[in-house]
Amino acid sequence: MTEISTLGEFGLIDHLTKNFASRNASTLRGVGDDCAVIDNGGNRTLITTDLLLEGIHFDLRYVPLKHLGYKAVVVNLSDIYAMNGTPQQITVSLGISKRFTLEHIVELYAGIRLACEEYGVDLVGGDTSASVTGLLISVTAIGEADPDDIVYRNGARDTDLICVSGDLGAAYMGLQLLERERQVAEGVKDDTFQPDFAGKEYLLERQLKPEARRDVIDELRQLGIRPTAMMDVSDGLSSELLHICKASGVGCRIYEDRIPIDYQTAIQAEEFNMNLVTAAMNGGEDYELLFTVPLTDHEKVSQMKTARLIGRITKPELGPCLVTRDNQELPIRAQGWNAFDSMHNA
C-alpha cells in the first residue's frame, strides 16, 4: 500500500488525472495550472477551486470566522490573477458540524461578502451539508481573460527575468506566532492570559487576512508587460519555482540577497531562531505573484512598485538553484507545506 503523503498534493493530482483526456474542444487547459481555461467564444473562462478543512488548513481557536470567510475567497481570486485574468463570480459550499450556530455562519458569510465587495465579484451559488468533522469550506472562482492575455506556467524561456511581488515569509511567521500564543494559552488555567501581539500586526494580517494582488496585474498592464509564466505563491517560493521550471522545461537562478523580506518577518525569525531565507522560500500562504518576463522588459520591470527582480531563467541542464550571498549555488528543493504530511500531525 502506498501512503498518499509520499506523493504530496501535486504528485497525487498527477497520478489520479494522468489518464483523463480532454474530450471537448472548448477545454483549452485542464488540470496542471492555477486555473482551468474554457473557450466559450470571445474571452476565455477561467475556473479554479479550493478546499479548506478545519484542523488541516485553519484552526478556529485563533482564526476569526469573518477573517476565514474573507481568506477563503481571496485565495481563489489569487489563482485567477495568476492567470492574468479578472475574477467575476464565486460559489461557496459548506460542510457544517452541530457545534456551529446560525450566528457563526452569518459571521463567516460577512467575511465572504466583504471579499466580494472588495474585489467586485458576485456570489452565484453553492451548497451546504451537515458535517461530522468540523467546518469544511469549498470555494470555486470563475473569471475571464482575453485569449492573448492568459499566462500559463509553461511559458518561461532561457534568459527570462524572474520577479516576485510584495514580500515573502510574513504569513508563515504570523502562523508560528499564533501557534506559539495558542500553546501558551493552553498552559494557563484561568482566563487572564492575553496574547502578546504588539508590533506584530503585519505578520498576523498576512496570515489571517491576505490579499490577492490585483494591483500587480494592473501595474503590469499599465507598463505594457505580459509575463511569459506566472503563479501565485501559495505553497512557498521554492515549490512555485519548481512548478514553473518543470512546466517550462528550464532551470533558474534565484539570488538570496534579492528575496524581498519585511523587517517584522526578519525580527520574528530571529526571535524564533529560524533561518530567515528558509522561511521566505518555503513558508507559503503569501499569495504573492511569481512571474517571468523577457529580458527585453528589464527596463519596464525595474520601474515596478509592486514587484522586484529576484533572478533569471537558465537552460534546463543547469537546474533550479539559489545563489547565496557568498556566491554558492544550492539546489532548490520543494519544502513547502504538504496537507497530507500535516495529517500525521493533526
Whole-number pLDDT of residue 344: 38
pLDDT at 217 over 70: yes
Q: What pLDDT does 345 receive?
A: 40
Whether the predicted pLDDT of 19 surpasses 70: no
CA distances from 253 to 2, 35, 229 (A): 34, 26, 16
Tracing cell 482575453 back to the chain, one arrives at 146
Out of 162-166, 184-188, 301-305, pick the least confident: 184-188
Global pTM reads 0.89
> Does residue 145 contact residue 221 with C-beta atoms inside 8 Å?
no
At residue 10, does pLDDT exceed 60?
no
For residue 346, the model assigns a pLDDT of 36
Is it the case that residue 23 has pLDDT exceeding 90? no
> Distance of CA 152 to CAs 85, 180, 228, Å?
11, 38, 8
Q: What is the DSSP string of 232-259?
A: EESS-HHHHHHHHHHHHT-EEEEEGGGS
Higher pLDDT, 295 or 5: 295
Q: Which of 143-147, 177-181, 272-276, 335-339 has the lowest mean pLDDT?
A: 335-339
Average pLDDT for the chain: 89
- Assigned C-alpha cell, 135: 467546518
Alpha-carbon distance of 77 to 65, in angstroms, equals 19
Q: Is the pLDDT of residue 240 over 80?
A: yes
- What domains appear along the chain, each with residue ranges and CATH number? 4-145 (3.30.1330.10), 161-342 (3.90.650.10)
Lowest-pLDDT choice from 93-102, 145-154, 182-191? 182-191
